[in-house]
Chain A
Amino acid sequence: MELDLRSLLLELADSGADFVVVGGIAAVLQGVPMATFDLDVVHSRAPENVRHLLHLLERLDASSRLRPQSEALRPGAEALAGPGHQLLRTRLGPLDLLGSVEGGLGFEDLKQLSEPFLLEGRTLRVLSLQTLCDLKKNATHPKDQLSRLMILETLRLKQET
């Protein structure tokens, strides 16, 4: 599997789908120096948006990471319209399409907590650093705890400047 997260993000932006970037890429875009190996987004589960995503997944040759590559199982409209997580491999790298995140928050909720970001001529919605930090508040995994500390320090340094 190739790893070109920047191209994967731009493909998603060009797909016409509505989504909010969350997770590590959202943190990196806002200045947190952390490594991440997948692109996490919370997508709109509206029928029209699901259609955009289905076309995108076909172009990206996406399939479930939870199944052997030989099975190449791709989520259908019903799965994308639900609140669950679709963990996918694509020709540009891992892509997680999340119907909702902690607390059952979905696209419409997170859209209010996101900020517009201009990236190579595209406007993306990226979850705010403060919300990313809040979502990791109860995390117990050491990696998430370190990420939260890095986000907190980044927020502090941003306020300084």
Chain B
Amino acid sequence: MDDGSSLQDHDALLTPATLAPAPQAWLGDGVDPSMIRWMLSLTPEERLRWLDNVVQTLHEVRRGT
């Protein structure tokens, strides 16, 4: 049974350094420069943590948890 601990762990990873900004100026091709600038401001470790957060979130959405 899911006791919600994985979700809590996930929330714990959402430190200010890994919270992405809201899209500001999308280019016509679907690329968001503000998001890229934000990613470039992170260290490689923080970028990987961001990816893990994204992947975990999508995984949870797909599982309906």
Q: Which chain A residues have a beta carbon within 8 Å of chain B's beta carbons?
A: 3-6, 9, 25, 28-33, 35-37, 117-120, 146, 149-150, 153-154, 157-158, 161
Q: Which of B16-65 contact A (CB under 8 A)?
A: 20, 27, 29-33, 35-40, 42, 44-45, 47-52, 54-56, 58-59
Q: A153-B27, A157-B33 known; 9 other A-B pairs, CB under 8 Å?
A: A5-B48, A6-B49, A28-B48, A29-B48, A31-B39, A33-B20, A33-B36, A33-B39, A35-B54
Find out whether the CB atom of A157 lies under 8 angstroms from the CB atom of B36.
yes
Residue of B27, B48, B50 contacting most chain A CB atoms (<10 Å): B48
Find out whether the CB atom of A32 lies under 8 angstroms from the CB atom of B39.
yes
A residues near B55, Cβ cutoff 8 Å: 3, 5, 35-37
How many A-B pairs with Cβ below 8 Å?
73
Find out whether the CB atom of B51 lies under 8 angstroms from the CB atom of A119.
no
Find out whether the CB atom of A32 lies under 8 angstroms from the CB atom of B36.
yes
- What's the least CB distance linking A18 to chain B, in Å? 20
Find out whether the CB atom of A158 lies under 8 angstroms from the CB atom of B40.
yes
Q: Which residue of B lies closest to A126 (CB)?
A: B44
A residues near B40, Cβ cutoff 8 Å: 31, 154, 157-158, 161
- What's the least CB distance linking A10 to chain B, in Å? 9
Find out whether the CB atom of B38 lies under 8 angstroms from the CB atom of A33.
yes
Evaluate whether A119 and B48 lie within 8 angstroms (CB atoms) in the complex, with A3-B55, A3-B56 already known. yes
Task: Report the Cα distance A22→B47, complex, angstroms.
Answer: 15
From A4, A28, A150, contact of B47 by CB (8 A): A28
A residues near B37, Cβ cutoff 8 Å: 157
Give me 28 A-to-B residue pairs in the complex whose CB atoms sit less than 8 angstroms apart, sorted by A's number. A3-B56, A4-B52, A5-B52, A6-B52, A9-B48, A25-B51, A29-B47, A30-B44, A31-B40, A35-B54, A35-B55, A36-B55, A119-B44, A119-B45, A119-B48, A120-B45, A146-B30, A146-B31, A149-B29, A149-B30, A149-B31, A153-B27, A153-B31, A153-B33, A154-B39, A157-B36, A158-B40, A161-B40
